[in-house]
Chain A
Amino acid sequence: MKHRGIAARCLLAAAALGALTAGAAAQDEKVFKLGVVAFLSGPAAESFGKPAWDGAKTVIDALNAGSVIKPYDKVGFGGLKIEVDLIDEAGGATKQVEELRNAFERDHVDAVLGYISSGDCLAVAPAAEQLQKMVVLMDCGTPRIFEENKFKYVFRSAAHGGMDNIAMARYLVKQGLKVADVGAINQDYAWGQDSWKDFKGSLAQLQPDAKAKVELWPKLFAGQYGTEISTLLQEKPGLVYSSLWGGDLEAFVLQAAPRGLMKDRLVIFSASDHVLQPLGNRMPDGVIVGARGSNGQFAESSPINDWFVAAVAKAHPGVNPVQPHYRGAQGVLAVKTAVEKAMAANGGKKPTTEEMAAAMVGQEWDAPSGHIKLALGDGHQAIQSNAAGRTKWDADAKMVKLIDIVHFAAECVNPPPGIKSADWIAEGFTGAKCN
């Protein structure tokens, strides 16, 4: 009798546990847990991390409310509510690999979208592959991810950094701006070195007479550029090129502009649209600006772009969306497109990682910055159009506007499949399709 009692209790407990688990599983089937990784602290938070998250969150909130326009009007991802697990990217690549494992194994996220630092992207991609879990890189620039590796579960929803500098060199030609010599100031790490190498290579193809006169390499987050500015003033190059970003770029402009470095000289800031609003009229007129894609002011009017600009303005009054906002949004829409494609193929069930990854290969979708294609890296790496323009302070609107904008088609500034971007630059952009 006693034994029967215990057995009955065990049975009841097992049934209750089973019901709970089934309930949780049923709940899981209605929710898509998305890990989002961006710098929320540290020096890159202000320029890239927070705006990227703001852009992604704006879209995620609207998707959950079912208020995005067609073709993104289905609630969440194919009817699954999106639940975000937000992760701070600060702390280095080793920490990010740990965070990635935690996100998948402990927190059971269905996919991870994120990463701004190229070092973090390079570190988490093989880890995701090992875990056989889907990671969509949304911001980092290094071309090495898919040029040197093959991944099944890793994708990048934005173009890599190669196109940024090809577009800058093409802009000079398109605008008839002849360059005799260049002074370069770039941070001494992968981003700065790769950017300068790509720009120098592209310029050598398009304006072979242009010479690199001086190359300066301040360290990341140096903040003080007095001596570098003196060197550039002394060398008097016809063009000053820089891939500085965030607080470093702002400090450089604050220190260089009063000393006249940017007067009567061409200046290129290859990835700088995000400093225009903070700097305001301290940014001199005529500076050539890039935004790593047709982002921000470069984005052409389209239903999805107009919706996105209005949604950001509503969520963050006074903020003009710039490149990280756009890439955050672009990444969310990439995942949504893949999930819904996979659901259409499996009869509307929540897709598995395998189904999502298969659906995403080579996919195309419309983002606020234009039409995006996963054309490189065997259908894992995006290409997109790019643009450049020049700064002009608008006193009435109290903002720096971009004028003389030139757009470049994705195939004009991105290499075709099967060739590394550095090789494509070196052999003179064979097969480029320019408008």
Chain B
Amino acid sequence: MNIAAAIFVDGLIDASWLFIVAVGLTLVFGVLNILNFAHGSLFAVGAYTAASAVGWYYGGNFGPAFLGYFVMLGAALLVAVALGPLLERGVLRLFYRRDEVVIVLVTYALFLILEDATKLIWGVNPYYAYEPYGLLGNVSVFGLSYVGYDFALVGLALVTGVLLWLGLNRTISGKVVLAVIHDRDMSGAMGVNVTRVFVLAFTFGVFLAALGGAFTAPKISVQPGISISVILLSFAVVVIGGLGSVEGAAIAALIVGLARAAAIHLMPSAELFIVYLVMALVLALRPEGLFQRMATRKI
């Protein structure tokens, strides 16, 4: 297998994961104008919940093995429904009128609280959800063996991205969300229930974070600390793509994924800083990111 093909396949798989993990962060920023540091912890809660649910499902032999994927999906939904409205209405709402920096600090506090809460619930011992990882067998691509599950993640990222784009651009509700992204005051004046849009958008952001965690759980050891690298990488992807842009997150995930794969294959010692090099380059040329919308000046 030539190196270019390996870089492409590895980069694509990495990009899919990055996109699933980062798109919720950019959506929440777009709608609520909040850089949600707790996103990494919500990823971790999703991973823990999915690992527990998968352990319960396969431990009890409740049904066919492939339904484990739906159990993981259900776990992500459960996290979103339980935590999304609670955090938005219970905490974030109280700070909307404060300075943006205060809200960033509030989400950082939430990050720390959720980290401790996961430790309180699940302890420090690792959880595994490895059964779904092997279900799809192996796939040979250009002579290299890959686990089929990794390609399923590519599909999941594709479906997530397309549905999100269609939902935002081709449905009435989506257009309402876009209107709030564009100008929340004007949308409110036109009769849009901005509060409801906030709750729904934040809950959907939580769902995407938890979905990333749930579908990553089968290939890792779920334990304290998994949220840290997620928030750093997501942040890099979102900044490169342009804060608030779903298309930007997709392109940025692809760029970062391919850059990381190229670095590992061609110059392994560069792996650590390649993501930040890409970010620095993009910010130097386009400080607003690749897909940031033109800011309108209000008079």
- Interface residues of chain A, those whose CB is within 8 Å of chain B, are 40-46, 49-50, 188, 214-219, 221-224, 226-228, 230-231, 233-234, 246-247, 250-251, 254-255, 258-260, 278, 282
What chain B residues lie within 8 Å of A247 (beta carbons)? 126, 220-221, 223, 225-226
Q: How far is the CA of A100 from the CA of B6 in the complex (A)?
A: 49
Q: Is the interface of A mostly helix, strand, loop or mixed?
A: helix
User: Is the C-beta of B23 less than 8 angstroms from some C-beta in chain A?
Assistant: no
What chain A residues lie within 8 Å of B220 (beta carbons)? 223-224, 247, 250-251, 254
User: Is the C-beta of B247 less than 8 angstroms from some C-beta in chain A?
Assistant: no
- Interface residues of chain B, those whose CB is within 8 Å of chain A, are 1, 3, 6, 9-11, 13-14, 17, 115-116, 119, 124-126, 128, 130, 133-134, 138, 144-147, 150, 216, 219-221, 223-226, 228-229, 260-261, 264-265, 268-269, 271-272
What chain B residues lie within 8 Å of A223 (beta carbons)? 216, 220, 226, 229
Given A43-B223, A215-B268, A254-B133, check contact A226 B10 (CB 8 Å). Answer: yes
**B221 adjacent to A251 (CB under 8 Å):** yes
Q: How far is the CA of A249 from the CA of B21 in the complex (A)?
A: 22
What chain A residues lie within 8 Å of B219 (beta carbons)? 224, 251, 254-255
Contact of B225 among A50, A221, A258 (CB under 8 A): A221
Contact of B14 among A188, A221, A227, A259 (CB under 8 A): A227
**B224 adjacent to A219 (CB under 8 Å):** no
Please list the 8 inter-chain residue pairs (A to B) with the smallest Cβ-Cβ separation, ordered nearest first: A43-B225, A250-B221, A227-B10, A251-B220, A227-B264, A247-B221, A46-B124, A45-B124
B66 to chain A, nearest CB (A): 17
What chain A residues lie within 8 Å of B225 (beta carbons)? 42-44, 221, 247
Contact of B224 among A46, A215, A216, A217 (CB under 8 A): A46
25 chain-A/chain-B pairs, Cβ below 8 angstroms: A43-B223, A46-B125, A50-B124, A188-B269, A215-B269, A216-B268, A217-B272, A218-B271, A219-B229, A221-B225, A221-B226, A223-B216, A223-B229, A226-B150, A227-B265, A228-B264, A234-B1, A250-B221, A251-B220, A255-B147, A258-B134, A259-B147, A278-B125, A278-B126, A278-B221
A276 to chain B, nearest CB (A): 13
B247 to chain A, nearest CB (A): 24
Q: How far is the CA of A222 from the CA of B232 in the complex (A)?
A: 11
What chain A residues lie within 8 Å of B6 (beta carbons)? 230-231, 234
Contact of A45 among B1, B216, B224 (CB under 8 A): B224
**A216 adjacent to B145 (CB under 8 Å):** no
What chain B residues lie within 8 Å of A214 (beta carbons)? 268
How many residue pairs between the two chains, A and B, have CB atoms under 8 Å in the bound complex? 122
What chain B residues lie within 8 Å of A215 (beta carbons)? 268-269
Q: How far is the CA of A221 from the CA of B221 in the complex (A)?
A: 11
Q: Is the interface of B mostly helix, strand, loop or mixed?
A: helix
B267 to chain A, nearest CB (A): 10
Contact of B269 among A217, A221, A246 (CB under 8 A): A217
Q: How far is the CA of A46 from the CA of B224 in the complex (A)?
A: 8
Q: How far is the CA of A227 from the CA of B3 in the complex (A)?
A: 11
Q: Which residue of A lies closest to B228 (CB)?
A: A221
What chain B residues lie within 8 Å of A250 (beta carbons)? 126, 220-221
Q: How far is the CA of A30 from the CA of B62 in the complex (A)?
A: 59
**B124 adjacent to A219 (CB under 8 Å):** no
Contact of B145 among A40, A45, A259 (CB under 8 A): A259
Q: How far is the CA of A126 from the CA of B264 in the complex (A)?
A: 38
